[in-house]
Amino acid sequence: MAEAAIFQGLSWNLLADLRELFTYPFMVNALEAGTIVAVMAGVTGWFMVLRRQTFAGHTLSVIAFPGAAAASLAGLPLAVGYFGFCGLGALALAGIAGSRRSLSAESAAIGSLQALALALGFLFVSLYHGVLNGLDSLLFGTFLGITTQQVTVLLVVAATAVALVAIAARPLFFASVDADVARAGGVPVRLLGFGFLLVLGLSVAETSQITGALLVFALLVTPAATAHQLTSRPMLGITLSVALALAVTWLGLALAYFSIYPVGFYVTSLSFGLYLLVRLTRALASRRRTTGRLALEGA
C-alpha cells in the first residue's frame, strides 16, 4: 500500500477521478484481472450454489494455500502448486461425493480434508522460514500487484473454464437439479460431478493467486447466492451472477484505490450487503403477500 500515499483521495470531479484510475498500469492490470476473475467466478459459482457445494468450494480454496506453500518450499513456480493441489483436492472431493454416504459423513470427510490441507500448509510454511512475511499475501492476496503476463495466463485459464462449463451446461444443469432422473435419462452424472469439481478447482486455483486463498470464496459464493435468490431461470441467473460479480469487483477496486483499506474488504462487504438486501426484500414481499391473502380470505 506504499502507492496509496501518493494519491490525493477522491476529488469533486468524478470524471477526472475515473480517468486517474486508468492512468496507472497496476490499476489497469488489476481491473482486467478482476474482470476476468469475476466472469469466471460468476459462472462457476452459480453452478456451485445450485449444486450445494459451497463447503467443497471453500475446501478447494483452502487447498490452494498448502499448494502455494509447498511450491515455495520446493522452489517451484507458485502456479504449479496452486493448480497441482487444487486438482488433487478436486479428485479427493469427487471421491467423497461419489461415495454417496449420508450428508453427515460427507460433511465430516470434507472437514477433515480441509483441516489436513491447513495443517500441511502451516507445516510447509514453518519449514520454509522465509515465506512467513508473505503468508498474509498468500492467504489474503495481492490484488494490486498483478503483472501483464499474469493477466494473460488468467485469461487463458478463465476462457478454458467458462468454455468447459458452457459446453456441459445443459446436462450439468439437469444432473444438478435432479440427479436420479438425469441418470435414468442417460446423463453421465458422476462424470459431470467430477468434471465440475475439476473446473471449480481450476477457477479457485487461478483466483486465489489474485485474491488470496481465503477470499476466492467471496466472488464464487455471494454474487451467485444473490442471483439464485432473484431468479430460478438458469440463463438469467448466470447472467445476473456474472453481472453482480463484475459490479462488486469494479466498485471494490475503485473504492480501495481511493482509500487505504484493502480490496477484499470492499468486495466482500458490497456483495454481502447486496445479498442481505435481496433477502430482506424477498422476506418482506412474501410477508406482504401472505398478509394480503389472509385479508382477502377474511373478507
Task: Return d(Cα 273, Cα 33) in angstroms, integer.
Answer: 23
Report the residue from 40, 93, 218, 245 that binds another protein according to the rule CB under 8 A.
218
Exposure string for 2-19, b = 16+ CB within 10 A, e = fewer: eeeeeeeeeeeeeeebee
Task: State the DSSP H helix or E strand holding residue 186, giving kind and residue range, or none if neither.
Answer: none
* Contact track, another protein, 242-281, x by CB under 8 A: ------------------xxx-xxxxxx-xx--x---x--
**Which part of the chain contacts another protein (CB under 8 A), choosing from 24-32, 155-163, 214-222, 233-241?**
214-222
User: Is 115 a binder of another protein (CB under 8 A)?
Assistant: yes
Whether 168 and 192 have beta carbons less than 8 Å apart is answered as: yes
* Binding-site member from 18, 74, 76, 105 for another protein (CB under 8 A): 105
Q: Which of 247, 238, 284 is nearest to 46 (CA)?
A: 238
The single residue among 118, 169, 230, 247 that binds another protein, judged by CB under 8 A, is 118
- How many C-alpha atoms does 222 have within 13 Å on its Cβ side? 24
Candidates 187, 214, 244, 254; binder of another protein (CB under 8 A) is: 214
Residues 48-87 as x/- pattern, contact with another protein by CB under 8 A: -x--x-xx-xx-----------------------------
Q: Cβ of residue 108: shortest distance to another protein, in angstroms? A: 3
Instruction: Cell numbers for 64, please give them.
Output: 490452494
User: In this structure, are residues 181 and 36 in contact, taking their beta carbons and an 8 Å threshold?
Assistant: no
Of 43, 46, 41, 50, the closest CA to residue 175 belongs to: 50
Distance CA 284, CA 266 (A): 27
> Which parts of this chain interact with another protein (CB under 8 A)?
1, 49, 52, 54-55, 57-58, 95, 98-100, 102-112, 114-116, 118-120, 122-123, 126-127, 132-133, 135-136, 139-140, 190-191, 214-215, 217-218, 221-222, 225, 228, 260-262, 264-269, 271-272, 275, 279
